[in-house]
């Protein structure tokens, strides 16, 4: 049994491949808010949200000051987005070009134009008749499933299940999950079985 395990480990090491992806800092949200005189508004909104939450004692950590993004392309021809890698589920989220809400556009000092996925401009886009909902630490996200071609790091033009946020009464993107952070796309890296438990 030991020899089989050693052999399997050796084979995995020999055939393993390293994928590299350029990453860059999105910069400090707090610094951008201060620069554009929006920090006071941001604090007021955060305090207002906290006031509506049930009171309890829990340490709070703020991760808004620093995280890293890389580029990803979705569709044919490829549309480029700022990608955040995460391990919360196994989904690839992009914002639909039809979404014009504040959460989709970015607000409170986001000071950049957020790119959105134009499904009609992609010749490989294929919609699915399924919706999905995931509860993250920063809020819940709901969207529509679809298939399209994706490229990132050294992976090129592979078919992937993507999740589109589209604004309607039954699918509301969490403001906290998207609006105040410099990201247009979110790639989840956990096991795919997570997806099957939350698809509707």
Please check whether residue 142 is in contact with residue 93, taking contact to mean a CB–CB distance below 8 angstroms: no
Averaged pLDDT for residues 117-132: 91
Give me the residue spans of the domains in the chain.
67-196
What are the start-end ranges of the H helices in the chain? 2-15, 29-35, 39-52, 102-105, 175-178, 193-196
33 vs 173: CA distance, rounded Å = 22
Residues 71, 153: Cα–Cα separation, whole Å: 8
pLDDT at position 7 over 60 = yes
Please say if the pLDDT value at position 159 is more than 70: yes
CATH of domain 67-196: 2.40.70.10
Q: Kindly state the tokens that stand for 23.
A: 């990453």
Q: Quick one: what percent of the chain has pLDDT higher than 90?
A: 10
What pTM value is reported for the model?
Answer: 0.61
Is 23 in contact with 70 (CB distance < 8 Å)? Answer: yes
CB 81 within 8 A of CB 62: no
Query: In this structure, are residues 149 and 160 in contact, taking their beta carbons and an 8 Å threshold?
Result: yes
In the chain the first and final C-alpha atoms are separated, in Å, by 43
121 bridge partner residues: none
More confident residue, 13 or 189: 13
pLDDT tens digits, residue range 45-100?
A: 877 877 776 665 444 444 456 566 777 889 999 998 877 766 656 678 888 888 87
């Amino acid at each position: 049994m030991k020899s089989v395990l050693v052999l399997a480990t050796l084979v995995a090491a020999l055939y393993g491949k390293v994928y590299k992806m350029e990453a860059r800092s999105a910069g400090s949200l707090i610094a951008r808010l201060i620069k554009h005189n929006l920090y006071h508004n941001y604090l007021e909104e955060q305090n207002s949200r906290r006031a509506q939450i049930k009171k309890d004692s829990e340490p709070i950590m703020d991760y808004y000051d620093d995280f890293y993004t890389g580029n990803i392309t979705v569709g044919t021809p490829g549309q480029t987005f700022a990608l955040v890698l995460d391990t919360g589920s196994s989904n690839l989220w992009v914002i639909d070009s039809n979404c014009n809400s504040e959460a989709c556009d970015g607000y409170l000092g986001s000071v950049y134009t957020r790119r959105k996925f134009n499904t009609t401009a992609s010749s490989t886009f294929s919609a699915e008749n399924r919706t999905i909902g995931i509860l993250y630490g920063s809020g819940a996200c709901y969207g529509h499933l679809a298939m399209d071609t994706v490229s990132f790091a050294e992976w090129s033009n592979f078919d992937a299940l993507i999740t589109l946020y589209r604004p309607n009464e039954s699918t509301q993107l969490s403001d906290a999950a998207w609006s105040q952070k410099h990201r247009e796309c979110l790639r989840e890296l956990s096991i795919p079985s997570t997806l099957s438990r939350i698809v509707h």
